[in-house]
């Protein structure tokens, strides 16, 4: 498997996650019209990784694998270098006004990830090389709303840190946004590979959030991501580099010992980080749709993910889609718990929302 599993970090004596390297790379011909596309083509053509062409990043065919599951696993290790043609950005509430599209797809295997359903049968990892065109479009969105601030979320369709060592596009976006008086960037990651971002000229315009969770959730449902202690180490580096910092605790779940594990997580954060100015928390409880449940059961048949509709409350989302969320009483319990713990350990921090 090319997402090299955790190994031993001799310096720190702990587990660590290596950088993702694809097993197979596809290029759209037009990607070669752009400097980043040409650079990646040269790099992979010289490597031992097979390189193929595809007419469209939306329709990559010929992935090896006998069964649907095998093809899915191969797709998660396949990189597609293409052009973002549709430059109408999707909305990204509640954390931002727009999603900025730098990449689609992710190499990790989080069982609960909503990309399972939103990407359908195209779970391969697409990176877009027409970054300047994406910036031009973002500039127009900013101009339309100025002098109000326009926030862009870079992690709606991927984990952008997971592919940053391949493209460098996130750093470029951070520096571009640093020059935008009325533009702000934010993204969330489960990867700790942030060193290349530390010297970016960000001007405080990018908020980097780390997705963290209780050990039970990380161990059972987040294969292929950086361990939480590495994410916290990375968060410390980000705070030292004067970026606005945040944590997303998601998905929050009920399991045996949840109060104790979440308390210990917050204690660990406080002990490791100390007081951080301008710190935010976003809290997202676990939810699923019936479509997601079917997909997850096929792709991760041994998953312990609790998806019992009987234990949940229906919530209607956009386009009449039904999500199964925790019932009101449990939501209230979570709200009381997390608000009180975060206020206790991080009295200066802002809790942006619990949903």
Interacting residue ranges for ligand SF4, rule: CB under 6 A: 106, 108, 110, 113, 115, 158-159, 190, 225
Task: With beta carbons less than 8 A apart as the criterion, state whether 102 and 128 touch.
Answer: yes
- Looking only at the bridges linking them, the beta strands covering 206-212 and 125-128 are unpaired
Q: Are 266 and 228 in contact (CB under 8 A)?
A: no
Count the neighbouring beta carbons within 10 Å of the beta carbon of residue 107.
25
Question: What distance lies between CA 284 and its chain's CA centroid?
Answer: 14
CB neighbour list of residue 144: distance below 8 Å, 6 or more residues apart: 150
Cβ contact 177:206 at 8 Å = yes
Tokens representing 159 are 């984990």
Provide the greatest CA pair distance for the chain: 58
| Residue 343: partners with Cβ closer than 8 Å, 6 or more residues away | none
CA–CA separation, 165 and 161 (whole Å): 8
């Amino acid at each position: 498997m090319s997402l090299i599993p955790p190994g031993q970090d001799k310096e720190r004596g702990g587990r660590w996650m290596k950088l993702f390297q694809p097993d197979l790379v596809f290029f759209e011909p037009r990607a070669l019209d752009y400097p980043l596309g040409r650079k990646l083509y040269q790099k992979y053509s010289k490597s031992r990784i097979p390189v193929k062409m595809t007419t469209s990043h939306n329709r990559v065919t010929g992935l090896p694998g006998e069964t649907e599951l095998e093809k899915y696993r191969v797709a998660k290790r396949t990189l597609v270098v293409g052009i973002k043609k549709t430059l109408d950005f999707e909305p990204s509430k509640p954390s931002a006004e727009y999603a900025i599209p730098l990449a689609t797809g992710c190499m990790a295997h989080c069982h609960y990830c909503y990309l399972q359903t939103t990407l359908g049968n195209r779970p391969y990892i697409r990176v877009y090389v027409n970054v300047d065109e994406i910036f031009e479009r973002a500039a127009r969105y900013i101009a339309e709303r100025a002098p109000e601030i326009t926030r862009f979320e870079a992690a709606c369709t991927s984990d952008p840190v997971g592919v940053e060592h391949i493209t460098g596009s996130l750093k470029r976006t951070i520096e571009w946004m640093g020059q935008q008086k009325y533009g702000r960037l934010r993204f969330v990651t489960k990867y700790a590979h942030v060193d290349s971002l530390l010297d970016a000229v960000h001007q405080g315009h990018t908020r980097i959030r780390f997705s963290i969770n209780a050990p039970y959730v990380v161990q059972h449902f987040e294969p292929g991501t950086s361990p939480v202690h590495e994410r916290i180490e990375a968060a410390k580096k980000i705070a030292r580099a004067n970026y606005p910092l945040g944590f997303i605790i998601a998905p929050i779940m009920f399991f045996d010992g949840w109060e104790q594990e979440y308390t210990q997580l917050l204690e660990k954060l406080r002990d490791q980080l100390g007081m951080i100015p301008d710190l935010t928390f976003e809290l997202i409880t676990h939810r699923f749709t019936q479509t997601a449940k079917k997909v997850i059961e096929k792709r991760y048949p041994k998953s312990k993910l609790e998806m019992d509709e009987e234990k949940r409350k229906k919530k209607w989302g956009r386009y009449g889609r039904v999500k199964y969320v925790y019932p009101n009483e449990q939501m209230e319990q979570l709200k009381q718990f997390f608000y009180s713990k975060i206020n206790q350990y991080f009295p200066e921090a802002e809790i942006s929302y619990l949903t």
